[in-house]
A and B are shown apart, each in its own frame.
Chain A
Amino acid sequence: MERQKTQVEEIGRELYDIRDENRPDYQVAPGLTEEIVREISAGQNEPEWMLKLRLKSFKIFKKLDMPAWGPSLHELDMDQIVTYVRPKADMTDDWRKLPDDIRNTFDRLGIPKAEQESLSGVGAQYDSEVVYHNMKEQMREQGVIYADMQTALREHGDLVKAHFMKLLPPSDHKFMALHGAVWTGGSFVYVPAGVNVELPLQSYFRLNAPGAGQFEHTLIICEKGSKLHFIEGCSAPQYNVLNLHAGGVELYIREGATLRYSTIENWSKNMLNLNSKRALVEKDGAIEWISGTFGSHITMLYPSSILKGEGARSEYIGVSFAGKNQFLDTGCKVIHAAPNTSSTMSSKSISKAGGNTTTRTSVTVQPQAKNSKSSVLCEALMLDNLSRSDTIPGMDIRTDEVDIGHEAKIGRISEGSIYYLMSRGLSEEEAKAMIVRGFVEPVTKELPLEYAVEMNRLVGLELEGAIG
């Protein structure tokens, strides 16, 4: 008898796929040349050191090879990518001042409503520029800075210069070099010592222009003993040409500070999402990465934590869901560089209808990182045999005084679990839905309620038929 499969619907994307008419104020020509890099820089009215950094990055980009690992990026033709698109909108702190189409887009995505109800501040980027940025007055009074990167460059130039692309140097890899050459937009956050930002800040990145790239830069500095939850959301409508996202996120977490960095990514299926994120954590500080990856054609995303100070810790909780023609290569990297540091990684992946998930992790324990602990757990749910799910962990341990564990499991929904739940009165559909929700629950429970609801909606699981 043919084995029946669990049926899981594609994630409903209607909301995200509504396109605005592409009528930019200005855009550079497709491709990447030194002239384009200079043109972007000139348009940003930025300091000379930034132009030098862009030109240096461009040279490195030309020299570096494409990655020899991970999903194939052969479809990417940089000559077809438009690296800067300026929307017809000036940055404002009043949603009403935005053009109707842009405002309606963010309304549909629920950003202004979320700002009112549950956030300390919001930044909204449309194509290559931030169009809205605002923060509650109370945060300003406490000395918190939350600004778009161009404003931060003008008003806090020394602070930006001391940190910008220091954690993510352009020599790191080809797409970091690309980012260094053409970055625009993004957010800058500075949380003074001892300040607890009680409600999250959120930056939302929307890419509307077909064939364009988005290269925003996020720089966050949490001073001693401070606390912040930063939420990043991103989406784009579907086109039949490739779009490219190569953002950069640098997080500096000083002694005793805690930063939670949550991302819900729902790019369209024509997007190459090659983002880089890195945190430097000092003594007794903590970084908590919460990551949901649902969209994109190809994603290569591995937030990394450098545990520089004694007692620093890193936590990563990630879920990815790959459907047809998706290659989601995600995970986390941790470097234990000081004694008594600890890290945990918990990764969940679901693949269906020919989708491909890869969980790629690394744990490095340097010789001086005595008494460090690391625990890695990767779980993969396969919903059919058209799909793939791979786990590729790496561990480099250079001392004996450690406690390192790694576990991975792969399989489909257990018939025994379904049977058990049905014996307790649940219908088969309810039982399956409960199991899948339970599978991703470690991620959703770490998000504020509104975002957990969004993630559950993104999972959008509709279960039919029987488990084979």
Chain B
Amino acid sequence: MKLRNLNRIQIPTWRWLGMNEAALETDMPLGTPYRGGALSGAGSVELRHDFAPAEIPNLPADLGRLRDFVQEHQNYSLHLTIPEDVQCEQPLILDFLLDEASSVLVDNIEVHALAGSRADVVLRYRSAGKGARFHGGFASLRAEMGAQVRLIKIQMLDEEDIHLDGTAITVEAGGEGSALCCELGGGQVVSGCNVLLAGKESRGGLDTLYLGSEGRTQDFNYRLELRGPASQGEIVSRGALSGSAKKTLKSTLDFIRGASGAKGREEETVLALSDRVVNLSTPLLLCGEDNVEGAHATSSGKPDPAKLYYLMSRGFTQREAKRLLVEASFTSIINKLPTPDLRDAVRQKIREVVHGEH
């Protein structure tokens, strides 16, 4: 099966740049059952496996197609409702393991945070055993007035695996909703996220951490739509590429007319650790409202030689110094993970992927 028109850029640009859309091919047996999905920390959160799909306003067409695909082939579904004014002290962690018995996961997750609630919802994807695996997923989050919710996705699949992922976040007036995506594994990765700051003074955004290594391709399409007056948000991406990794990042800040007083920012920092990497970026800044402040910044290069030299003069080997610099560039995002276990797991995966440490 070939999936086309994935991750379409909001406004197309020159075709020869090869950034306008992504495609993905798989011969994995869609429709086979998935046995897994361990949930912890649910507390008073209401859970349903059968549910009618929620309406998602202003969902971009490419994510809409992905959502249709997931709904057609889903073998895991879960709807979480976080009751009004409930503060979840512990994160809800939903762990998915793909292995030889359950090599295909197509998950459809919905999170509805009622007014005044607060929670971190973590979706973690891992692989075990031999053979290729396929993950296709779509998660949506609706944050009502005064809710503060984060959807955290940690993808640690193996390099033979396909990861096709979509996220849609809608934040209503006075709410706060964000995504944190750690794209640490997978051989072919296509991941898109749309954060809609729909209501007045809504807050939100996206932090992402990605790793690319030998032979892996990644295509990311992140969009922050500032529609509510005085809404505020940012997209922050940190990545490291090694070997012959190929990464495409499309990130869009879109100020819609009427979003008076909105502020948005996007930033990408890429560390290139090999002279064979292919690093494509297109940070779009779209504006239909004058009373806004928008900015983006992108930088790409290898680890600063002066910093490497300094660390080596303090007794670190070059390998250790490089590792420190790579990890340091990710620290601000890793520190946003809600538990020490998750932070350690992410750090360990970085060492495996970037530095070959197992």
Binding site for B on A (CB under 8 A): 3, 5, 68-69, 358, 360, 362, 367, 370, 378, 380, 382-385, 387-412, 468
Cβ contact within 8 Å between A400 and B295? no
Residue B274, interface by CB 8 Å: yes
Across the interface, do B290 and A382 meet the contact criterion of CB distance under 8 Å? yes
Q: Are A395's CB and B282's CB within 8 A?
A: yes
- Binary contact track B280-299/A, C-beta < 8 Å → 1, others 0: 11111111111111111111
Q: A362-B14, A382-B290, A402-B272 are in contact. Are A395 and B295 (CB under 8 A)?
A: no
Min CB gap B196→A, angstroms: 19
Also in contact, A69 and B272, with CB within 8 A (given A391-B285, A392-B284, A407-B295): no
Closest A-chain residue to B264, C-beta based? A410
User: Which A residues are CB-close (under 8 A) to B20?
Assistant: 69
Known contacts A68-B12, A406-B297, A408-B283; A400 and B288 CB within 8 A of each other = no
On whether the beta carbons of A390 and B287 are closer than 8 Å, the reply is yes
Return B64 CB to nearest CB of chain A, in Å.
Answer: 20
**What distance in Å separates the Cβ of A430 from its nearest Cβ neighbour in chain B?**
22
Q: A402-B272, A405-B297, A408-B296 are in contact. Are A69 and B287 (CB under 8 A)?
A: no
A168 to chain B, nearest CB (A): 15
- Distance in angstroms from B248 CB to nearest chain A CB is 9
Query: What range describes how many residues of B lie at the interface?
Result: 35 or more
C-alpha spacing A405/B267, complex, angstroms:
11
Question: What is the chain B residue whose CB lies nearest that of A375?
Answer: B299
| Bound form: Cα–Cα A384–B287 in Å | 11
Can you spell out 20 A-B residue pairs with CB atoms less than 8 angstroms apart?
Answer: A367-B275, A382-B289, A385-B289, A388-B287, A390-B285, A393-B284, A394-B17, A394-B281, A395-B281, A397-B270, A397-B280, A398-B278, A399-B277, A400-B274, A400-B275, A404-B299, A407-B298, A408-B294, A410-B255, A410-B287
Known A-B contacts A395-B279, A400-B272; A385 and B290 likewise in contact (beta carbons under 8 Å): yes
Q: Tell me how many residue pairs across A and B have CB atoms closer than 8 Å.
A: 145
Do the beta carbons of A401 and B302 come within 8 Å of each other? yes
Answer whether A392 and B298 are a contact pair too, CB < 8 Å, given A411-B292, A468-B291.
no
Q: Does B313 contact A (CB under 8 A)?
A: no
* B300 proximal to A (CB < 8 A): yes
Nearest B-chain residue to A378, judged by Cβ: B285
Known: A385-B257, A405-B299, A408-B296. A399 touches B275 (CB 8 A): yes
Q: Please, which residue of chain B has its CB at the minimum distance from the CB of A383?
A: B290
- Extra contacts, 10 of them, besides A3-B260, A367-B276, A404-B299 (Cβ < 8 A), are A380-B287, A382-B290, A382-B292, A388-B288, A390-B11, A399-B277, A401-B302, A402-B272, A405-B298, A410-B294
Distance between Cα atoms of A382 and B257 in the complex (Å)? 12
User: Given the complex of chains A and B, what is the CA–CA distance between A380 and B290 in angstroms?
Assistant: 10
> Is B301 interfacial (CB 8 A cutoff)?
yes
Could you tell me the distance in whole angstroms from the C-beta of A256 to the nearest C-beta in chain B? 28
B17 and A384: CB pair below 8 A? no
Interface: B190 (CB within 8 A): no
**CB-CB < 8 A to A401: which residues of B?**
275, 302
From residue B255, how far is it (CB to closest CB) to chain A in Å? 8
Q: Which residue of A lies closest to B303 (CB)?
A: A400
Q: Within 8 Å CB of B2, what residues of A?
A: none
Q: Return chain A residues, CB-CB under 8 Å to B297.
A: 405-408
Interface flag for B273 (CB, 8 Å) = yes
Q: Does B319 contact A (CB under 8 A)?
A: no
* Chain A min CB distance to B259 (Å): 9
CA distance A360 to B12 in the complex (A): 11
CA of A393 to CA of B283 in the docked complex: distance in angstroms? 6
Q: Which residue of B lies closest to A358 (CB)?
A: B11
- The residues of A that contact B277 with a CB separation of less than 8 Å are 397-400
Interface check B171, CB cutoff 8 A: no
In the assembled complex, the CB of B178 is this many whole angstroms from the nearest CB of chain A, namely 22
The complex places the Cα of A445 from the Cα of B234 at a distance, in Å, of 35
